[in-house]
Amino acid sequence: MSGTGKRRSQKERSAETSTRLMNATIDLLHDRGLARTTTPEIARQAGVSRGALTHHFTTREAIISVSVADMLSKTTRDLHRFAEDFIARGGSSDEIVDYIWQMMDDRLFYVTMEYLPEARHNPDFRADLIPTVRDFHAGLDAIWTALAARTGVDPDHTRIVMNATMCLVRGMISQTVLRPNDPAYYQEMLAFWKQQVRQQFPIEAASAQDSRRKAGTR
């Protein structure tokens, strides 16, 4: 695939196998659930032997934990990129809500729903995750803090709105499980929420001229 030639260094081989295994793990978590994400299944999905898996990851819990942390840190990188861009051009609160929804709906929270119960009952697993989750929230903070500074809104209040937004979106994605195939329902709720958030940042007309939206809302 991406191999520049036939000869690859050990590091290259190792890195590619690890990556394949981690990607396979996330794919399986998303597509088939944690219970069905077994080590033989991961190896099959990654196209390597189970021996290769045990060579790179000592235990099932380890590969899952590492894969999830990897996914989260990638998402955090994206988040920081978005934050930079958002700050540079002075984006709207609507955009933030849309971005968060897209991000969470694009596998992130579905995968989260898979490991969250395990994290609740397994202290080691939970301890592994918490630092990564903290980084992720720092990325979120960067965005909302910028919005707060620009609109002169109390940062503490902004943080509440931010967290409420995250919770709302989490709950919405949860609901898709038992209420699927109803995009209009979720778009309507998002529209309502965007309006609520707008009310929290009233002076936003400052940079109203560049209200070009990338993500079309309904």
Binding positions for DNA, rule: CB under 7 A: 7-11, 13-14, 16-17, 38-41, 48-52, 54-56, 58-61
Residues 6+ apart with CB under 8 A from 97: 165, 190, 193, 194, 197
**CB of 29 within 8 A of CB of 64?**
yes
Which partner, DNA, its own copies, none, binds residue 177 by CB below 5 to 8 Å per kind? its own copies
Give residues 102-131 in contact with its own copies (rule: CB under 8 A). Answer: 110, 112-114, 116-121, 126, 129-130
164 makes contact with its own copies (CB under 8 A): yes
**CB of 191 within 8 A of CB of 94?**
no
CB 77, min distance to DNA, A:
25
User: Please, which residue, 50 or 150, has the CB nearer to DNA?
Assistant: 50
160 makes contact with its own copies (CB under 8 A): yes
User: Please, which residue, 49 or 163, has the CB nearer to its own copies?
Assistant: 163
Rounded Cα distance between 171 and 13, Å, is: 41
User: Please, which residue, 18 or 200, has the CB nearer to its own copies?
Assistant: 200
Which partner, DNA, its own copies, none, binds residue 110 by CB below 5 to 8 Å per kind? its own copies
Give residues 179-218 in contact with its own copies (rule: CB under 8 A). Answer: 185, 188-189, 192-193, 196
**CB of 115 within 8 A of CB of 68?**
yes
DSSP 51-81: HHHHHH-SSHHHHHHHHHHHHHHHHHHHHHH
DSSP 158-216: HHHHHHHHHHHHHHHHHHHHHS-S-HHHHHHHHHHHHHHHHHHSTTGGGGGGG---SS-
Specify the residue for token string 């969250």: 116
Rounded Cα distance between 105 and 170, Å, is: 9
Which partner, its own copies, DNA, none, binds residue 211 by CB below 5 to 8 Å per kind? none
Binding residues for its own copies, total number by CB under 8 A: 40
Could you list the residues that contact its own copies (CB under 8 A)?
32-36, 110, 112-114, 116-121, 126, 129-130, 133, 160-161, 163-164, 166-172, 174-175, 177-178, 185, 188-189, 192-193, 196
